[in-house]
Amino acid sequence: MPIVWLNGEWLDRSSAMISVYDHGLLYGDGVFEGMRAYEGRIFRMDEHLDRLYDSAHAIKLDIPVPREEFGEITREGMRRSGLQSAYLRHVVTRGVGDLGFDPRKCEKPTVIMIVDDIRLWPREVYERGLRVVTAATPIPHREALSPRTKSLNYLSHILARIEGIEAGADEVLMLDSAGSVAEGSGQNLFVVKNGMVRTPPAYAGILKGVTRDAVIELIAEAGLPFREEMLNRYDVYTADEAFLTGTAAELIALRQLDGRIIGGGAMGPITRALLEKFQQLVRAGA
């Protein structure tokens, strides 16, 4: 069952509440992480916690729970939920303050950990692949707020996803301000052409995903040629295969972008091989 740890208390979904004066709600002032558990084991929890604490440090937010203790709380949440496969969300806000911006008014951060389930698309979409459109809303400029800070400010990605919903698409592709391909609404992008796997580099203004890193490791283990480089929509339109990766999304193929069929219009052999390797990896708890 879903369970929530909130500032030291174990609660259920209906009883877990925060103040309307919390700066996470009022101003998006906070950071978060999403993790996955498979067969009772949390996948790469250390990497996710590292990013959570780094993100908090980047915005001058001190998490009042020691990192190792938060790891134990996370494992305890899995035990209490009784779930074998789960999605875990960690949220840390600046805390309760007043209606002004001044962070000094927030005496103590709010710390939340949720254990629940998630599925972004129906199973049949995972089987057939995503129909994607390019969003007009770009990702935020990387000098405004570093994309490596996984903050609560996701409004641009939500607006992009609204565009996709209104277009009847499964997902969107977001560009940077110069028109280069960046990412999905919450996933990293990979393309395959003539056996070469490519993905936008971290300096392109994308979030450096934990699942992205895991898939890059699998690409290396498989001996596939690989490059991190800037891409444009032509590279996706003309790819033999394309897929997205993310903690919530896992690994899912693209079958179409902006009305152009990608490759054979179905999951390609390299994507399928990487998906199988990824499934083996997560179930091994590696």
Give 222's DSSP letter. T
Q: CB count, 10 Å around CB of 15?
A: 10
Q: Please tell me what DSSP assigns to residue 239.
A: -
Q: Do the Cβ atoms of 106 and 97 come closer than 8 Å?
A: yes
Kindly report the number of other CB atoms within 10 A of residue 285's CB atom.
14
List the catalytic residue out of 60, 105, 108, 150.
150
Q: Return the ∠ at Cα 78 (arms to 72 and 79), rounded to 5°.
A: 90
Is 150 a known active-site residue?
Answer: yes
Q: What residues does 80 pair with on adjacent strands?
A: none
d(CA 148, CA 186): 13
Largest pairwise CA distance in the chain: 57
Burial readout 262-278 (b: 16 or more C-beta within 10 A, e: otherwise) = bbeeebbebbeebbebb
* DSSP single-letter state for residue 105: G
- Give 25's contacts (C-beta < 8 A, 6+ positions apart): 18, 19, 93
CA dihedral 54, 55, 60, 64 (to 10 degrees): -70
> What is the identity of the amino acid at 29?
D
Provide the annotated active-site residues. 150
